[in-house]
Amino acid sequence: MYNRIYNFSAGPSMLPLSVLEKARDEMMNCRESGMSVMEMSHRSKVYDKIIKETESLFREVMSIPDNYKVLFLQGGASMQFANIPMNLLRTGKADYIVTGQFSGKAYKEAQKYGDIHLAATTKDENFTRIPRQDELDLRPDADYVHICFNNTIFGTKWDYIPDTGNVPLVADMSSCILSEPIDVTKFGLIYAGAQKNVAPAGLTIVIVREDLLREDLPAFVPTMCNYATMAANDSMYNTPPCYPIYVCGLVLEWIKGLGGLEAMYKINKAKADKLYACLEESKLFKNPNDVASRSMMNVTFRAESDEINDKFVKESAAAGFSNLKGHRSVGGMRASIYNAMPSEGVDALCEFIKKFEAENA
């Protein structure tokens, strides 16, 4: 009807069709306000209702306890790579576990601000797995431990929540938030760029336990980077990214309508299982990662021959599957199958893989 294609982009990525249709239908006049959401004063009654409803839905869908703040910020996960040490360092020590490119960037950025310890990494194994609990060299007096829960580029995911004792656990969930139920109480802070499972780019979610917030930070910390200030102003210290917050609300309504995160998980698990099964049957393509560390959102695969990989990318694009080319640091292919990717998209990709393999045996 709209000539839409299956978009396997790692992010920004697909949004649910019904969400886009609602955004389109409300573009000229939203909720009888006589204006688009993009035109509303962020202090207006209509918009105030939108942001409050969105936060409330976020809390409901993710079962976020009352002693956690939900912040709607800007700057992406990359901005939080600095904000987290600037806000959470007290003694000056933090432990980082590096399992891919973004956790590596977070680790590097944090070094500007304190004594940052590499508690574990699987770099020597090309990030094909998540370290086990007994491999983590954690310091009991660290201010926090930082992990990236799902590694978008390498297609791996933590299959357990690491035990960090009394040290708060901080997790970048940019590419897996809202994909399955998560026990928020196990984390001190969860953050996510919105552009994969939540909303269009330009919105960053921070879920933080209240006792970790402190308004009195080192003098050099920009006011806009102070989580306590943002929390005290309900994410309205200045104009927030109003439109992505509105779309986030529509996405949360869609998830709730499907049955919440339990139902979302079942759908996502079925999609991922099907694609991994297809790759296990394949003689041409392989997923390089440990089975236990497989991501449910980003599925990487490659043939031994780069020529075959290039051919697959080219022919799949011509067949209406976009963005299957893997990240330049990994090569091969990557299918990002976030919440909004319909099961039919994964079915069609599996069929295409089989057809391609038959033609290129």
Applying CB under 8 A, which of residues 54, 121, 151, 195 lies at the interface with a second copy?
Answer: 195
Stretch that binds a second copy, among 11-19, 117-125, 164-172, 345-353 (CB under 8 A): 11-19
Total residues contacting a second copy (rule CB under 8 A)?
69
248: helix, coil or strand? helix
- Cα–Cα distance for residue pair 249/26, rounded to 1 Å: 14
Contact between 14 and a second copy by CB under 8 A: the answer reads yes
- Cα–Cα distance for residue pair 241/229, rounded to 1 Å: 17
Contact between 300 and a second copy by CB under 8 A: the answer reads no
Who contacts 55 (Cβ-Cβ below 8 Å, separation ≥6)? 70, 72
Hunting for tokens 């680790």 — which residue is that?
Answer: 107
Applying CB under 8 A, which of residues 155, 162, 241, 345 lies at the interface with a second copy?
Answer: 241
Peptide bond into 200 cis (omega under 30): no
Shortest distance in whole angstroms from residue 148 CB to a second copy: 14
Task: Tell me phi and psi for residue 346, to 5 degrees.
Answer: -70, -40
Contact between 77 and a second copy by CB under 8 A: the answer reads yes
Contact between 235 and a second copy by CB under 8 A: the answer reads no
Stretch that binds a second copy, among 30-38, 158-166, 265-273, 288-296 (CB under 8 A): 30-38
**Partners of 207 in beta bridges:** 70, 190
- Cα–Cα distance for residue pair 39/36, rounded to 1 Å: 5
* DSSP letters for 318-354: HTTEES-BPPTTT-SEEEE--TTS-HHHHHHHHHHHH
Stretch that binds a second copy, among 5-13, 93-101, 180-188, 277-285 (CB under 8 A): 5-13
Q: Is the CB of 127 or the CB of 243 nearer to a second copy?
A: 243
Hunting for tokens 């992990």 — which residue is that?
Answer: 147
Applying CB under 8 A, which of residues 18, 48, 59, 79 lies at the interface with a second copy?
Answer: 79
Applying CB under 8 A, which of residues 18, 48, 53, 74 lies at the interface with a second copy?
Answer: 74
Peptide bond into 12 cis (omega under 30): yes
Of 245-284, binders to a second copy (CB under 8 A) are: 247
Contact between 123 and a second copy by CB under 8 A: the answer reads no
Contact between 333 and a second copy by CB under 8 A: the answer reads no
Contact between 291 and a second copy by CB under 8 A: the answer reads no
Q: Among 280, 258, 206, which Cα is nearest to 58's?
A: 206
Contact between 310 and a second copy by CB under 8 A: the answer reads no
Hunting for tokens 């007994």 — which residue is that?
Answer: 134
Contact between 15 and a second copy by CB under 8 A: the answer reads yes
- Give CA separation, 110 vs 113, 287, 301, in Å: 6, 32, 32
In the complex, which residues of this chain contact a second copy (CB under 8 A)?
2-5, 7, 9-15, 17, 20-21, 23-24, 27-29, 32-36, 38-42, 44, 74-79, 81-83, 86, 109, 112-113, 193, 195, 200-203, 218-220, 222-225, 237-244, 247, 320, 322-323
